[in-house]
Amino acid sequence: MAFINENYLKLPGSYLFAEIARRVTSFKDENPTADIIRLGIGDVTQPLPAACIQAMHTAVDELAKQETFRGYGPEQGYDFLIEKIIETNYTKRGITIGKDEIFVSDGSKSDCGNIQEIFGTNNIVAITDPVYPVYLDTNIMAGRTGILTENGTFEKVTYMPCTAENNFTPELPKNRVDMIYLCCPNNPTGTTLSREALTEWVNYARKNESIILFDAAYAAYITEEDVPRSIYEIEGAKEVAIEFRSFSKTAGFTGTRCGYTVIPKTVTGRSQDGSKHDFNKLWNRRHTTKFNGTAYIIQRGAEAVYSVEGQAQIKETINYYMANAKIIREGLQAAGIQAFGGVNAPYIWLKTPNNMPSWDFFDKLLHEVNIVGTPGAGFGPSGEGYFRLTSFGNKENTKRAIERIKTKLKF
């Protein structure tokens, strides 16, 4: 008799974006002429950089001829891409990363979700609260948590609240934690951790032999010079940190799928007998056993992001989105709503007026001004009373949305 993985039964029924879709559909059914503006889901809208388009056309043509055809590539990714990643994102910032410390994948969601497999199930997981739900959900599935309690937290998980009160900087935990998920710039709050805060985390991890799982999917949006682009800018991080990067938001690859994980060979964990083991080696085994490499065409597209033209093109698109972020942030402030983020990230995190619950504010925004955003409570209990707007829409709609909030929303 086949038994199921019962950890899945601990997962709450409805996924955040599915519930949003349900409410929007229901609203549209009742109000078929409503002019809805979506500032909700974190998906890009601008086309791919011309350099990527050209590179992918060339790659497609290569697959049409026997002499240039490519079958299985290295599961870890092609050198042509890995070398460009290292040069642009690490060497130029004074960080030394080896070619066999980079693992190209079909995107950060896969990597962030799969990375926990190489860890023991008894590790204590720490997550900032609120945060991207994949870290927690995948650890629930793997059995590293207890059940959902009445206060909205899972047993055995260490939640680190990040709210306006602590300037969205998580406190070092009082209990021992083993796997620490940090998302910086943070999804959903759009805030970043300072060099000092990150240094404290690296020092904590070194002292406690914890591992920092550092999701830098939004690194390309950082504008302030003193915010680290990579955790490896912090001394000692190469001993304790695994970093996730993505082309999704950097270059519009949400539907094109490419990301990568960095695991320095100096990052180790222990087996029960106390001996040390390289996580790089374990991940290599996982990656080569359960994954067969990212499509050649896509890797050529990703490579083109690092060309001179590609870098200029992604910068232009990021500037476009960040101009939207400024419109949202300043518009909210003008409307008397407290807003965070939006400077080093495409996300604006607002405090709901009068401490209104997130889902009530969602309904209010949808019904009164026909704008779809994302309830903060969907990202963790400390997201309650907050709300996320994103800058991935087009400028015209973003302006119209903010104008509506300023002129029509009553609170």
List binders of its own copies among 60-119 (CB under 8 A).
60-61, 63-66, 69-73, 106-107, 109-110, 113-114, 117-119
Angstrom distance (rounded) from CA 298 to CA 70: 13
Of 187, 244, 246, the C-alpha closest to 211 is 244
Q: DSSP E strands: which ranges in 191-298? A: 211-215, 241-246, 259-262, 268-270, 276-278
Among 47, 146, 166, 315, binds its own copies (CB under 8 A): 47
Does 123 participate in binding its own copies (rule CB under 8 A)? yes
Q: Which is nearer to its own copies, 251 or 369 (CB)?
A: 251
Adjacent-strand bridge partners of 37: 371
Contacts 24+ apart (CB under 8 A), 268-272: 268/239, 269/119, 269/120, 269/209, 269/211, 270/209
Provide, rounded to whole angstroms, the least separation between the CB of residue 66 and its own copies. 5
> x/- binding map, residues 286-325, to its own copies, per CB under 8 A?
x-xxxxxxxxxxx---------------------------
Backbone angles phi, psi at 18, to 5 degrees: -65, -40
Provide, rounded to whole angstroms, the least separation between the CB of residue 392 and its own copies. 8
Among 36, 120, 200, 400, binds its own copies (CB under 8 A): 120
Q: Which is nearer to its own copies, 102 or 179 (CB)?
A: 179
173-192 positions binding its own copies, by CB under 8 A: 176, 178-179
Angstrom distance (rounded) from CA 401 to CA 405: 6
What is the H or E stretch that residue 290 is in?
helix 279-290
Q: Is 402 exposed, middle or buried (0-12, 13-18, 19+ CB in 10 A)?
A: buried
CB atoms within 10 A of CB 372: 20
Of 388, 399, 379, the C-alpha closest to 347 is 388
> x/- binding map, residues 355-394, to its own copies, per CB under 8 A?
----------------------------------------
Q: Which is nearer to its own copies, 137 or 351 (CB)?
A: 137
Q: Which is nearer to its own copies, 302 or 365 (CB)?
A: 302
194-253 positions binding its own copies, by CB under 8 A: 208-211, 252
Counting residues that bind its own copies (by CB under 8 A) gives 81
Among 279, 306, 340, 386, binds its own copies (CB under 8 A): 279
Among 145, 230, 254, 390, binds its own copies (CB under 8 A): 254
Place of tokens 């359960």: 290
The b-or-e profile of 66-93 (16+ CB within 10 A means b, else e) is: eeeeeeebebbbbeebbebbbeebbeee
Provide, rounded to whole angstroms, the least separation between the CB of residue 5 and its own copies. 5
Tokens of 373: 């955003």
Q: Which is nearer to its own copies, 173 or 353 (CB)?
A: 173
Provide, rounded to whole angstroms, the least separation between the CB of residue 359 and its own copies. 21
Provide, rounded to whole angstroms, the least separation between the CB of residue 258 and its own copies. 8
Q: Which is nearer to its own copies, 149 or 272 (CB)?
A: 272
Among 96, 121, 166, 333, binds its own copies (CB under 8 A): 121
Does 56 participate in binding its own copies (rule CB under 8 A)? yes
- Sequence-distant (6+) residues with CB within 8 A of 381 are 129, 151, 152, 153, 159
Does 270 participate in binding its own copies (rule CB under 8 A)? yes
Provide, rounded to whole angstroms, the least separation between the CB of residue 280 and its own copies. 12
SS3 state of residue 161? strand
The DSSP code for 27 is H
Q: Which is nearer to its own copies, 56 or 322 (CB)?
A: 56
Q: Which is nearer to its own copies, 163 or 313 (CB)?
A: 313
Angstrom distance (rounded) from CA 359 to CA 376: 8
Residues across the chain: 411
Q: Which is nearer to its own copies, 104 or 227 (CB)?
A: 104
Does 141 participate in binding its own copies (rule CB under 8 A)? yes
What is the H or E stretch that residue 183 is in?
strand 179-183
